[in-house]
Amino acid sequence: MKFSQSGLYIESYVKCANCGVLIYESSAEDASRKKVHDGQTYCSQECVDWKIERDARRSKATA
Amino acid sequence: MDFVTMNILESSMVSLCKEMGIVLMKTSYSTIFNEALDFTCGLADMNGDMIAVADFCPAQIGGMPLLVKSCLKEIPIDEIEEGDVILHNDPYRGGLHTPEHTFFKPIFVDGEIMGFAVAIGHIAEVGGMAPGGFCGEATEIFQEGIRIPPVKIKKRGEDNIEVWKLLLANVRTPRTNYGDLRALIAAVDLGEKQMTQIYKKYGKQKVKDTVNDLLLYSERRMRAELEAIPDGVYTFSDKVESDGIDADRVYTIAVEVHKRGGEFIVDYHGSSPQAQGPINATLGVATSAAYNAVLHMTDPTIPRNSGCFRPIRVMAPPGTIVNVDFPAPEVGGNTETHPRIVGTILGAMAKAVPDRVMAAEGATHCNFVFGGVDAETKEFFACYDLEAVGWGGRAFADGNDGVDSINGNCRITPVEVYETRFPWRIESLAFNVDAGGAGQYRGGVGYTKQMLCLNDEIICSQMTDRHLLAPWGLNGGTEGGLGATLVQKNGVVAMASRPSAIAWRLPRMSARATSPRRRP
Amino acid sequence: MSDSKIVGVDVGGTFTDFVSYDAAAGTIENWKNLTTPADPIEGILKGLDQVNDLQRVDKIRLGTTIATNALLTRRGAKVAYVTTAGFRDVPFIQRGDRRSHYDITWIKTKPFVKRADTHEVNGRLSAKGEVVEPLDETSVRNVAAMIKADGTIEAIAVCTLFSYIDPSHEQRVRDIFAEELPGMPVSISYDVLPKWKEYDRASTTIADAYLKPIVSDNFRRTHKRLQALGIADKIGVIKSNGGEATLEGAAEAPIQMALSGPTGAVVGTRVLSELTGIKNLVTFDMGGTSTDCSTVVDGKEHVTTNFEIEWGLPIQIPMIDIHTIGAGGGSIAWIDKGGMLRMGPQSAGADPGPACYGRGGENATVTDANVVLGRINADNFLGGKMKLDAVAAHRAVKAVADQLGLEVDAGAYAMVQIANNNMLGALRAVLLQRGLDPRDFTLVASGGAGPVHLCDLMDISGIPKGLVPNYPGQFSAFGFIMTDARVDRHRTVQQTSKFFDTARATAAMTELVDGAIGELVAQGYKQKVEIYRSIEARYLGQNHELEISFPANAFDDATVADLWKRFHEEHHNRFGFSIPGETIETVNLKVVAVAVSDRPKMRELDKGKGAPSASGSRKVRYEDGWHDVKTYDRGTFKQGHTITGPAVIEESASVTILRPKQTLSVDRYGNLIISA
């Protein structure tokens, strides 16, 4: 049985910080695609790129 | 592509899904199933892609691909055996909300697993702090009922009694739930049996190839539809007025649609952090809602399968109202927040495709849950009830009056059935004629249902929206009217419901609940 | 009636079909006449001219499209709707669901009444039938005054809450209207169909009122015309339950005529069941623009009250459960946006018709594909009365095949396959979706196009046997000469097995039986009346009922215990599980009363043996390519003849295409029995 870090429940995934999909620890496919950027986990490079682009676009809009 | 076999296979699979649904409809116990048709039946391949589905509940159709895929990540394929039935309702694992129970049965052909028969159904009672699963004042998932990660309710054709016991010990109406669970199992049994025959008739490889082609075909048609929409970034936002807990806090649903060629990307960044109360949407809901919006804007004759959804991407940041993190409550996300998300996306696309959208609709199911002990028969009763609302006005026609909100396709319960079953007297069912919102094409109107309590006590709980913030118009059309829930005691209005999610008790003959629902 | 004649008349879109039976000679004749849409009686009378001695005719049974057309084209009366205070919006709120998901262009179905013409009266019953508020007669008279002042209302529909339990309020409203608005047609929901669910009942009652002035007027005029010929009292009109009613009886309850003509093929099939001893049959009546399917199970038609004239508009009268799809010989082939070949639902209709009709149609249809494949003989269509343009058919099919990158014959075969698959959907709807196993059935082909596709459908549906009756092209009219006078009455009497009041159930059942017999007697049907009683029940909490026959006269401990036992058994048979000990809820009581007519005696064919002699041969395309196939003339067949496929059997109004390895045998009455 695998428990989460909080000890409260038995999930074994984290969510992509950009798109929110579940990234399962046990999935080889998920593991091969996932990226860590700025200390956060993303499902893929595409989501990292998307986040960077959005941040740039939104800071430009507010500037 | 072998278009002839594809056409034949597609229609055979869709009729099979329909036949599964009919078994479910005819044998289930909950009104929400058999009267409101809040269920969906489909077929999936080994990738978890939905390959065929019948038109029952739209919210569940869009949710199916994610549900199946999540389960396949939790139960390894080599642990699935012939005759197993897997049950799952966990909103945090691809699910939509706790009442939605998903059943999978593997389809084995000559010892090889080919795919799954899938049935998703709304089970009316799931335990938790209020009967009927819709508790307006829940602040964590544990109050919303029993949560079931993917488990085998049947193993190699035999009931897994331990799971049944656990399940039925945790709900208020085990008899009804037993009937509903049996009905769902009968549906996947039928799907599995008939799909096996289809594989045998055409050959495993031929079906596999044709199904792949079918998904490609739907994808190609969807991309062609999307390419016809002008490229651009379209934004819009709408507000949910309350979560039932904090009456003063308003929640924003923000969308930014990136339409690039044949792709449709919905970015929800900018939406409010998740609520304390049960209006949060799960990832499954946020995804399903985006699919729902796109399907409304595109050709309805495209065969519905995962292929249609490939050009659509959703970015739903964790911890927000559109992708709730454990252990916040979420039951209303599927009924209330889903239609608001669809409306927000349609609002964004109004600039691009003005004749394929509508102004804000009612976007609530007016969820009204009640229960108690019948004074006459001394029997326990519980009911989840919903009402229809008005559609938004369109660039070419008035909004339809009195129609179920966009993420469901449920029927309302007839007055004569309602009064026969429950100790209420319905005093009127009347359109709110002036509440449509004016314009060249007016919005559709909702109706007022006035009810008199005939029991010593009925415990009620409701979850609805747009009591404070009016639905928006488009192209200069004006806002629609507001809804309200009024409780009259001894002829005096004792409580005008400000929070749109609330629970209360009604004593006999002295209270009268009125719920005008006005929509643009 | 041993020396008498019966004539069946089926008014179709293009042709009016006639079938006559002469008891003295034991012969059946059939002929066709052009339909006269403006006043169908013209075409009927012209066709009846062919009957030598009209005075010798004992019965003329008429399938009518007047009610169906008035509903479909929305040319009915201006109706006022009167209901319980607080509920005038029910016909507009309807059930709250949508016709389809994802259709933003959808416009909600409008009822057959305008909101401005709806009225409320005070008075209320409870769900148990207690008077919560007595009927306020002043409010009724006020409504009458408003209707009178309006001056445009042509008929009134009355539907009050819980009238299926106690009709006294509705009946009193009707009586007051009779005083205040003499001559105004009034339909009350208790008379139309005393079942629960106020919207469905209201919709049906409104439709009845909507039809009354038009249909009644038409029937009265028809009655007059026929009276002049001295045959008015010989007319029987076919109702949606497949039974006949007199013209006057039909004028009283026009909604009973909502689906008249298509029932003939089902009644004819039930008679085939009696003649051949085959218990379970499924009908496949394929015409130019649509195909009807229905079942006869254990020798009985399936009657339903779940019918919608268009989406969202229920017409809940007991009618033969016919599933219709918009696919027929005229269905047009087209390529969709993704490159997939589709057939229909657009149809070339009768004019211009398929390309091969040579009337300027350019689109390839199912019929054109059949011509290209050699299945339909261009020189012998309708028995040679109409010559088809094979070149035009080829040209039209080629245009579509080219887009698919297929040879013309492969393209035509693909069209037929897809059309067959669409029709398979209709068969699945009446079999698998009702829990019936295709392997237990015989498929009966009728309509001009039915026999052409019969053998293919047997192959893809897994139905092991097929049957082509005599005169497949006029099978509905044939069914009419075989039918009986029949009344179906239903009523909601909701009770549970836990608290079952046998006296209440017995009283309600007796009232239904007396009412049904009374209706037959009032129309002059004096022959032997057979009564069938049944109950619609379900597990408490379910929402869809199973029909359980109830052979006894009265409810008592023994008959009720037997009823529950048979319910559990039936639930298990139908759905694969039952819940012993569970509370059962009875919802509706049902009674069928049939005044049984003498059955025409069918003449038997001479005996023969082996294969009949072939009339020639031609090339026919099957999935594995072209075959040289022998052709046969059905007119030469004798009972006991057998043929092994591939083969083509031609007759005046149709053609049967036997597949390789299928066998055909001719039964004593000349029916073609096909085995897989």
Q: Is the pLDDT of residue C296 over 90?
A: yes
A48 Cβ under 8 Å from any chain B Cβ: no
Q: Is the pLDDT of residue B498 over 50?
A: no
Q: Is the pLDDT of residue A5 over 70?
A: no
Contact B318 A9 (CB under 8 A): no
Contact B283 A17 (CB under 8 A): no
Q: Do A and C make contact, counting contact as 3+ CB pairs within 8 angstroms?
A: no
Neighbours of B231 (CB within 10 A): 12
**Which residues are CB-neighbours of B37 under 8 A, at least 6 positions away?**
B21, B25, B56, B57, B409, B410, B411, C97
pLDDT given at position B519: 32
**Residue whose C-alpha is closest to residue B450's, from C133, C85, C108:** C85
| Chain B residues within an 8 Å CB radius of A47 | 315
**Residue whose C-alpha is closest to residue B104's, from B126, B88, B92:** B88
C418 Cβ under 8 Å from any chain B Cβ: yes
pLDDT given at position C1: 42
Q: Which residue of B has its CA nearest to A19?
A: B315
Q: Is the pLDDT of residue A9 over 70?
A: no
Q: Which residues pair with B115 in a beta bridge?
A: B45, B107
Q: Is the pLDDT of residue A7 over 70?
A: no
Kindly report, residue by residue over C66-104, the tens digit of the pLDDT: 888 889 889 999 999 999 999 999 999 999 998 888 889
Structural contact between residues C72 and C290, judged by C-beta atoms closer than 8 angstroms: no
Q: Is the pLDDT of residue B345 over 70?
A: yes
Structural contact between residues C114 and C102, judged by C-beta atoms closer than 8 angstroms: no
Q: Which two three-digit tokens encode residue C506?
A: 């017995």
Q: Is the pLDDT of residue B30 over 80?
A: no
Percent of chain C with pLDDT strictly greater than 70: 99
CA–CA gap between residue B476 and residue B70 (Å, rounded): 44
pLDDT given at position C513: 96
Q: Which two three-digit tokens encode residue B285?
A: 């809901």
B396 Cβ under 8 Å from any chain C Cβ: yes
Chain C segment 395-414 residues within 8 A of B by beta carbon are 404, 414
Q: Which residues pair with C31 in a beta bridge?
A: C18
Per-chain mean pLDDT for chain B: 88
Tell me what the mean pLDDT of segment B383-398 comes to: 90
Confidence tier at B88 by pLDDT (50, 70, 90)? very high
Tell me what the mean pLDDT of segment C512-535 comes to: 91
pLDDT given at position C387: 87
Q: Which residue of B has its CA nearest to C162?
A: B416
Contact A47 B93 (CB under 8 A): no
**Three-class SS state of C369:** helix
Which residue out of C105, C460, C543 would a mutagenesis test of the B interface target, given it has the greatest number of B Cβ atoms within 10 Å? C543
Which residue out of A10, A19, A43 would a mutagenesis test of the B interface target, given it has the greatest number of B Cβ atoms within 10 Å? A19
CA–CA gap between residue B453 and residue B489 (Å, rounded): 10
How do C584-595 and C485-496 pair as beta strands?
A: antiparallel
Confidence tier at C660 by pLDDT (50, 70, 90)? very high
Q: Own/partner pairs for B505-511, CB < 8 Å, 24+ apart?
A: B505/B457, B505/B458, B505/B459, B505/B460, B506/B453, B506/B457, B506/B458, B506/B460, B507/B453, B507/B456, B507/B457, B508/B375, B508/B453, B508/B454, B508/B455, B508/B456, B508/B457, B509/B452, B509/B453, B509/B454, B510/B453, B511/B453, B511/B487
Sequential DSSP letters for B372-394: EE-TTT--EEEEEE---BPPPPB
Selecting from B70, B92, B316 the residue whose C-beta is nearest the C-beta of A19 gives: B316
Confidence tier at B509 by pLDDT (50, 70, 90)? very low
Kindly report, residue by residue over C344-359, the tens digit of the pLDDT: 888 887 778 899 999 8
**Which of the 8 DSSP states describes residue C381?**
B
Selecting from C101, C104, C336 the residue whose C-beta is nearest the C-beta of B394 gives: C104
pLDDT given at position B518: 35
CA–CA gap between residue C132 and residue B419 (Å, rounded): 13
Tell me what the mean pLDDT of segment C604-628 comes to: 94
Contact C542 B34 (CB under 8 A): yes
Contact B283 A26 (CB under 8 A): no
Neighbours of B505 (CB within 10 A): 11
CA–CA gap between residue C318 and residue C81 (Å, rounded): 23
pLDDT given at position B491: 62
| Chain A residues within an 8 Å CB radius of B325 | 15
pLDDT given at position B391: 93
Confidence tier at B501 by pLDDT (50, 70, 90)? very low
Confidence tier at C200 by pLDDT (50, 70, 90)? very high
Structural contact between residues C555 and C502, judged by C-beta atoms closer than 8 angstroms: yes
> Count of alpha carbons within 13 Å of C579, Cβ hemisphere only?
20
| Chain B residues within an 8 Å CB radius of C433 | 15, 18-19, 22
Size of interface A-B (CB pairs under 8 A): 46
| Chain C residues within an 8 Å CB radius of B55 | 100-101
CA–CA gap between residue C32 and residue C139 (Å, rounded): 55
Contact B221 C93 (CB under 8 A): no
Kindly report, residue by residue over B402-418, the tens digit of the pLDDT: 999 998 888 898 999 89
C127 Cβ under 8 Å from any chain B Cβ: yes
Tell me what the mean pLDDT of segment B473-494 comes to: 81
B378 Cβ under 8 Å from any chain C Cβ: no
Q: Is the pLDDT of residue B163 over 70?
A: yes
Task: Please give the C-alpha separations between residue B89 and each of B120, B286, B468, C285, C542, in angstroms, as whole numbers.
Answer: 9, 17, 33, 45, 23
B420 Cβ under 8 Å from any chain C Cβ: yes
Neighbours of C609 (CB within 10 A): 10
Q: Is the pLDDT of residue B495 over 70?
A: no
Contact B3 C93 (CB under 8 A): no
Q: Is the pLDDT of residue C155 over 80?
A: yes
pLDDT given at position B407: 87
Greater confidence, C571 or C576? Answer: C571
Q: Which residue of A has its CA nearest to B67?
A: A22
Contact B326 A11 (CB under 8 A): yes
Contact B409 C101 (CB under 8 A): yes
| Chain A residues within an 8 Å CB radius of B314 | 19-20
pLDDT given at position C411: 96
Contact B315 A19 (CB under 8 A): yes
Q: Is the pLDDT of residue B520 over 50?
A: no
Confidence tier at B228 by pLDDT (50, 70, 90)? very high
Q: Is the pLDDT of residue C564 over 50?
A: yes
Tell me what the mean pLDDT of segment C26-34 comes to: 83
Q: Residues C649, C650, C651, C653: is their CA dihedral positive or negative?
A: positive
CA–CA gap between residue B120 and residue B39 (Å, rounded): 5
Chains within contact range of chain B (3+ C-beta pairs < 8 Å): A, C
Contact B396 C105 (CB under 8 A): yes
CA–CA gap between residue B120 and residue B90 (Å, rounded): 12
**Which residues are CB-neighbours of B449 under 8 A, at least 6 positions away?**
B387, B426, B428, B429, B514, B515
Distance from the A4 Cα atom to the nearest Cα atom in chain B, whole angstroms: 11
Confidence tier at B513 by pLDDT (50, 70, 90)? very low
pLDDT given at position B516: 39
Q: Which two three-digit tokens encode residue C274?
A: 């009696």
B415 Cβ under 8 Å from any chain C Cβ: yes
pLDDT given at position C572: 87
Contact C100 B55 (CB under 8 A): yes
**Which of the 8 DSSP states describes residue B171?**
S
Which residue out of B26, B356, B515 would a mutagenesis test of the C interface target, given it has the greatest number of C Cβ atoms within 10 Å? B26
Could you give the maximum distance between any two Cα atoms of chain B, in Å?
Answer: 71
Which residue out of B269, B280, B285 would a mutagenesis test of the A interface target, given it has the greatest number of A Cβ atoms within 10 Å? B269
Tell me what the mean pLDDT of segment C623-650 comes to: 95
pLDDT given at position B515: 41
Q: Is the pLDDT of residue B503 over 80?
A: no
Kindly report, residue by residue over B301-331, the tens digit of the pLDDT: 899 999 999 999 999 999 999 999 988 999 9
Per-chain mean pLDDT for chain C: 91
Confidence tier at C40 by pLDDT (50, 70, 90)? confident
Task: Please give the C-alpha separations between residue C400 and each of B43, C212, C363, C419, in angstroms, as whole numbers.
Answer: 32, 47, 9, 15
Q: Which two three-digit tokens encode residue C383?
A: 């028995």
Q: Is the pLDDT of residue B517 over 60?
A: no
